[in-house]
Structure 1
Amino acid sequence: MLWDVTDPEAASYAEHLRSAILASPSAAASRIEADGLLVCDLSGNKDQSKPLVALQRGDGTVFGAVFGTLFERSGITSCKRLTSIDPETAGRLYRSLGSRIVRDLWGSYVSFVRNGDKCAIIVDPAASIPCFYTRKRGVVLAFSHLEECTFLDLGEFSVNFDFVSALLAYDKLQNGETGLIGVKELLAGHQLIVSRSGETLHPVWDPSIVARNRIELPVEEAAVLLKETTTRVVGSWMSRYDDIEVQLSGGLDSAIVLSCLAKAGGRPNVSAIHHVLKSGDQTEVHYARDVAEFCKCELLEAELDPTCSFPEVTEHPPTVRPYRQFTSQAVEAQIGNPAYGAGNAFFTGQGGDHLFFASKSPLVLADHLLTQGFGRESFREWLRAARLSDLSIWKTLGIAVPATFGNGAGRKSTTVFETRKTRITERNNSTLDIGNYAPSWALQNSGLPPAKFLQVRSLAHLIHVRRSLLRRDRRETVHPLVSQPLIELCLQLPTYVLRAEGQSRGLARIAFKGQIPESVRRRRTKGEASRYFVKSIVANKTRIAEALSGGELTERGLISSDDVQNFILRNDHLIQEFGRSMIVYYGIEAWLRTWSRIGSRGAKIRKEHHCAGA
């Protein structure tokens, strides 16, 4: 929390909160304090490597703290987690009010810096750790998990129904708003400056700016650089843990992660787990077995049953926005439970599709024409783009050439609501504007080649990948590919290089030749789980219908009970592309009921206090 020490009201409330917070043994044992600043770890983390790093000036004065995991930016080999910041780097952080952190360091973090009467909070470029904030009685409170802030009166918060209405249309919205009035989210790569005059937001990292600093290299050299960078970030994360289990899907990205771990020197214990869907979806287990055998790692095959019951609609925790994986908690419990597999960390291949550029778009030809001009190599790129996009050469040219001149550079972002429309949310969709619910760099192309802009825009869904609920009994989940050095490299490499040899994720396939089995490196198909989700909805159809037909959403007029019944009776949830949104609706309903109960309790307590005072 942050406050102005010269403000009597803020100082008094801060002292009250400090006493309440430090009553927790975990917070008292893991905290950093400075004038007008208190940063605590409330997680009860038993890991010996504490998540707090103090920021100190040359004379030893503490001026801030970093919560999370930090690595050095320099060097081409993996590095260990930083437990202290050298004076020179700390000085730059102090003078820049923290903004230099995105240039000097990388990792998963939220940083806090005070300089004079100003204090800044900065979230890493991937927003790996949630950061929400609110102001109460002159004190700015920042937290990752509201449900852990037992020192706060949750009854003082009220629901932001405009945001909830938008979530019904598209549940991945990111605009700094949350489901609670007065609670904001600090987005990826942003700095919140707090001063006596209030709060201001500033971007300190912008993927579109990074992408404009294009790196032109021959494919062979680019492949070497991609391999080195991938190996470095995976190895750096590896250094934190004694035992690691990799979620091995059988696809390219998780195979690359396991390969980097398996070939690292002085590596910890590494094993893999593959989840077999008991739903009739095409199995990928033979690919996972190939990878595990190639990397000489033990493989655990675990079945996931789609007929598991959803949590009760009354069981959603008091988070700041609906928890997207609310209905998947049984699966998450299996994945994160140490008794279910080996390791104190759970690594995934999340992010590879976005960064390595899993795309069939013909707009890659437009990128090549814009940056290289029309020449002999253009014909080769033309044929590759047509073959990969499965379009005629003339159709491909008809898409690429106008985009080269700034026309028709891809599907408009505003159609995102339209493609997710169901009968239940049809009315809500018609009044929403995507421009109000996404980062500006994901909406407006600021001079990037069209296919590169598609890649940048896709990061809006990548950079907020993280566990939304704090679970002390679960292993830590790590997405090592979603690391700033690798993100920046992949943004700077042209799309036609990332798609080398006319292959989706072609450069990554070249870079890791000989490091993963050929069956996976040459694989072109993707895993599918559509039957799994359909069977999950069918198994829970009655529970969903009962919850949505007579719940908070219908009472508030956000959905119609008749629409819900018709949607389910006509089996629209089985045939519409986004019929699986029923799962999203159920989670939103459960979240609303939690806050409705909190609001009712708060109103009752305030009424009792009022009567007692009278």
Structure 2
Amino acid sequence: MATRFLAVVPHAGRASTTFAQGLRKKTGFAVAVDEDALTLLVEHIDGVVTTDQDGCAVVGWLFGREDYRVRTVVDSLTSQAMATADFKCLLNHYWGGYIAFAKRAGDRAISVLRDPSGGLPCYYQRTPHATFLFSDMATWRAAEIGHTEIDWTGVAWRLASANLPTSRTALDQIDELGAGFNLLASDYDALPQIAWSPWEHVNPPSGTARSDLAGALRETVLHSVAAWAVPFRNVLLNLSGGLDSSIIAAGLAERSDRAAALTMATRSPSGDERRYARSVANATGLELTESFYEAGDVDIALPSLPDLPRPTGRVIGQAFEAARRRAAALRSEDAFFTGLGGDNVFCFLQSPTPLADQLKAQGLTPALRETLDSVCMQTGCSITTALWWAVQRAWMRPPRYRWQRHALFLDPACLPRSSDLTHPWLAAPTGALPGKAAHIAMLMRVQAERDCFARGSAIPIIAPLLSQPIMELCLSIPTWLWSAGGRDRAVARDAFAGLLPAMVVDRRSKAGPEAFCYEIIARDRDRLRAHLLDGELAANGILDRSAIENVLREPAPPSGDHFLRLLELADAEAWVRHWSRAS
């Protein structure tokens, strides 16, 4: 079941119990915590992990760090630590997809932790009387918490920031708590603070061979996927035929009686990966449903994710979501698994950065030649170019990852300054390696990508590869090992070489739904032109109208990233119109 919640932290002079009765009636939620300083309501009471401390609870899915078993109660030592607003014990001994609430002993302050994977969303709004925290905008709307309107600067930021995580949404006064962050809510403020940092996990285990790391990764992934399957009766996996979703399938193999797979294809051969998905389904015993992207499932005038507080969806997501619902209804699935985040967690770098890391960490060693050859094989650059680039990156530039704006089809006047694209995780510590900074940036980027799935739907969307134990292990593996042999995600390929078909483990390319995107644009070109050029985004100075008009005037399909960007902007326009009416 999806875990929806609503929490109230009243300001001075008010008790949260004064809110509880009215919010229960409006939302239909059950009361999980009812204290003067905190009321916590949840859609399903069995979605709450209890503690032995008043005012402390965990909403979502929690697993033990050592045995990977589902937890319904937090141990006493961790509960006591939570009561002092200390979440380190919880982070060290548990993992999962959760939001933790803790009433700090001795005062009215409430600490709220979002787990490092970002498995559950958490938004918040401060009003004159209280701070409200909630799982989704549908809950916010049902609770009648307050008023909001479109934040046009927030909209422009979202479209230009290339998935940089930020607390700011595109709705005024609505903020988001980031993955791995703790919100301290008091009478005076609501301040987010870092509770978990990826930089704490980048040091490699000493003296560990690559084969040992592959074995550790295999065991960690298999245990994590199996743990995620336990809370659900029937799991549906999005099996694309690529490496990442196939690894999830390997983790579900022992539970094939409770799991099935869905693969999507375009009617054009360029986007048909079904033979790879079939080979994985045969190897793992998962029943496979094959479905096509259907243009009839897509309406560019409708937002794909209307109940998110920022435009995040993609128009073609409507077709995927429709196919997912049809497949889920046939088997009564109660959870949807995805390989989302595999490229990010498994450090899919396509640059000489791993060579720079090894050069900076180990100096000129015989092993460097192997990495040099691997980088040249993977990127196609010459030995001279790779060496020169690596020397520059290792010693002539700071290790910090520089986040780039995504300015395509946006009015230059609305773009944020590059210097404003910051995040605490981008602050590389002294001695950091540039490849690890890039690896961490990829983990940041995927947090926005996971919102492209239907948050708040009746069926939870689970991304097992973003589980905390997997992320922490992968962060500790040196970047040059991930590109060994000229293969991207090399450690993951080695880890699952004996469990998956060779045609999947060894493949170097993967098709996508580009042909379907072309089909939508060809069908709706005139409608898309009017939708964007005469819409709210253009009227509020966010779009570069002339650039869009020039591209859509050409009879040939848009090239490169243009068609994907146009469909992203179409969904953003639909989102804006939805919230203009709603507010």
TM over 0.5: yes
1:421-436 residue pairs with structure 2 within 5 A?
Answer: 421-422=407-408, 424-428=409-413, 431-436=415-420
Letter matched to residue 388 of structure 1: Q
Measure, in 2, the Cα distance between the counterparts of 1:273 and 1:292. 10
Q: Report what 2:55 is aligned to.
A: 63
1:203-242 residue pairs with structure 2 within 5 A?
Answer: 203-212=194-203, 216-242=207-233
Residue 24 of structure 1 and its aligned partner are, at CA, apart by: 4.8
Q: Report what 2:9 is aligned to.
A: 3
C-alpha distance 327-579 of structure 1, shift in aligned 2 (>3 A) = closer
Q: Report what 1:389 is aligned to.
A: 379
Conserved 8 A contact 2:158-2:310: no
1:62-115 CA-to-partner distances (Å, cap 9, x unmatched) read: 22111110011124xxx3321111212211222344343222211101111001
Measure, in 2, the Cα distance between the counterparts of 1:563 and 1:23. 50
Q: Report what 1:178 is aligned to.
A: 169
Q: Report what 1:302 is aligned to.
A: 291
Q: Report what 2:523 is aligned to.
A: 539
- 5+ residue gaps, structure 2, are 1-6
Measure, in 2, the Cα distance between the counterparts of 1:313 and 1:352. 29
Give SS of 2:202's match.
helix
C-alpha distance 179-32 of structure 1, shift in aligned 2 (>3 A) = same
Q: Report what 1:605 is aligned to.
A: none
Give SS of 1:65's match.
strand
Measure, in 2, the Cα distance between the counterparts of 1:154 and 1:325. 28
1:145-544 residue pairs with structure 2 within 5 A?
Answer: 145-153=136-144, 156-170=147-161, 172-212=163-203, 216-263=207-254, 268-306=257-295, 308-310=297-299, 312-313=301-302, 317=306, 319-325=308-314, 328-337=317-326, 338-340=328-330, 343-407=333-397, 413-414=402-403, 416-417=404-405, 420-422=406-408, 424-428=409-413, 431-442=415-426, 444=428, 447-464=431-448, 465-466=450-451, 469-470=454-455, 472=457, 474-544=458-528
1:259-299 CA-to-partner distances (Å, cap 9, x unmatched) read: 121136xx652222211212442422111111111223222
Q: Which has the larger radius of gyration?
A: 1
Conserved 8 A contact 1:310-1:540: no
Letter matched to residue 278 of structure 2: R
Give SS of 1:56's match.
coil
Q: Report what 2:4 is aligned to.
A: none
Give SS of 1:3's match.
strand
Q: Report what 1:22 is aligned to.
A: 24
Conserved 8 A contact 1:68-1:109: yes
Comparing 212-221 and 385-394, the one that deviates more:
212-221
Question: What is the Cα-based RMSD across aligned positions, in Å?
Answer: 2.7
Measure, in 1, the Cα distance between the counterparts of 2:47 and 2:555. 48
Q: Report what 1:604 is aligned to.
A: none
Measure, in 2, the Cα distance between the counterparts of 1:145 and 1:241. 22
Give SS of 1:22's match.
helix
Q: Alignment partner for residue 550 of structure 2, among 555, 562, 566?
A: 566
Measure, in 1, the Cα distance between the counterparts of 2:141 and 2:396. 52
Letter matched to residue 98 of structure 1: F
Letter matched to residue 478 of structure 1: I
Measure, in 2, the Cα distance between the counterparts of 1:314 and 1:359. 32
Letter matched to residue 134 of structure 1: Q
C-alpha distance 86-112 of structure 1, shift in aligned 2 (>3 A) = same
C-alpha distance 378-428 of structure 1, shift in aligned 2 (>3 A) = same
1:359-407 CA-to-partner distances (Å, cap 9, x unmatched) read: 3322211211222221222222222222222111111111112222143
C-alpha distance 132-446 of structure 1, shift in aligned 2 (>3 A) = farther
C-alpha distance 126-508 of structure 1, shift in aligned 2 (>3 A) = same
Aligned residues: 573
Measure, in 1, the Cα distance between the counterparts of 2:279 and 2:207. 34
Measure, in 1, the Cα distance between the counterparts of 2:520 and 2:95. 39
Measure, in 2, the Cα distance between the counterparts of 1:154 and 1:572. 48
Conserved 8 A contact 1:212-1:448: no
C-alpha distance 133-234 of structure 1, shift in aligned 2 (>3 A) = same
Q: Report what 2:35 is aligned to.
A: 34
Conserved 8 A contact 1:247-1:273: yes
Conserved 8 A contact 1:158-1:181: yes
TM-score scaled by length of structure 1 = 0.86
C-alpha distance 251-316 of structure 1, shift in aligned 2 (>3 A) = closer
Measure, in 1, the Cα distance between the counterparts of 2:347 and 2:268. 29
Measure, in 2, the Cα distance between the counterparts of 1:215 and 1:238. 33
Conserved 8 A contact 1:238-1:268: no
Residue 358 of structure 1 and its aligned partner are, at CA, apart by: 2.3
Q: Report what 1:582 is aligned to.
A: 566
Q: Report what 2:92 is aligned to.
A: 103
Residue 564 of structure 1 and its aligned partner are, at CA, apart by: 4.3
Measure, in 1, the Cα distance between the counterparts of 2:331 and 2:10. 48
Conserved 8 A contact 1:31-1:52: yes
Give SS of 2:285's match.
coil
Letter matched to residue 512 of structure 1: F
Misfit runs of 4+, over 6 Å: none
Conserved 8 A contact 2:224-2:464: yes
TM-score scaled by length of structure 2 = 0.90
Measure, in 1, the Cα distance between the counterparts of 2:63 and 2:507. 34
Conserved 8 A contact 1:98-1:122: yes
Letter matched to residue 9 of structure 2: W
Residue 546 of structure 1 and its aligned partner are, at CA, apart by: 2.3
Conserved 8 A contact 2:304-2:571: no
Measure, in 2, the Cα distance between the counterparts of 1:440 and 1:86. 31
Measure, in 2, the Cα distance between the counterparts of 1:168 and 1:376. 45
- 5+ residue gaps, structure 1, are 600-614
